[in-house]
Amino acid sequence: MRVFVTINKGGSMDKTKYKSITLNIDDYHAVRGISYKKSRKFSGTITKLINDYVKNLAVDNDCTPEQMKQDMITLSKRGGE
């Protein structure tokens, strides 16, 4: 079973700023559980997990987290090329 997750930070959804993803049901509940435990919104928990992972990648690649995140955004926009 998969869960369809759409994250919207309020207001009407601008489709150029938000994307939908699917998660394995157990992963969804794990993230949701983390959200409850840390008293954080679901979207905030996902953002925190991403930022923490980007920081680890930056350390491994000897660059700043900001540069690593920008590199990942650029890679994604190019379709992984």
Sequence-distant contacts of 74-81: CB under 8 A, at least 24 apart: none
Task: Report the pLDDT averaged over residues 27-40.
Answer: 94
Taking the C-alpha atoms of residue 72 and residue 20, their distance in angstroms, rounded to an integer, is 18
pLDDT at 80: 86
Taking the C-alpha atoms of residue 78 and residue 81, their distance in angstroms, rounded to an integer, is 6
- Per-residue pLDDT band at 9 (split at 50, 70, 90): low
Percentage with pLDDT > 70 across the chain = 81
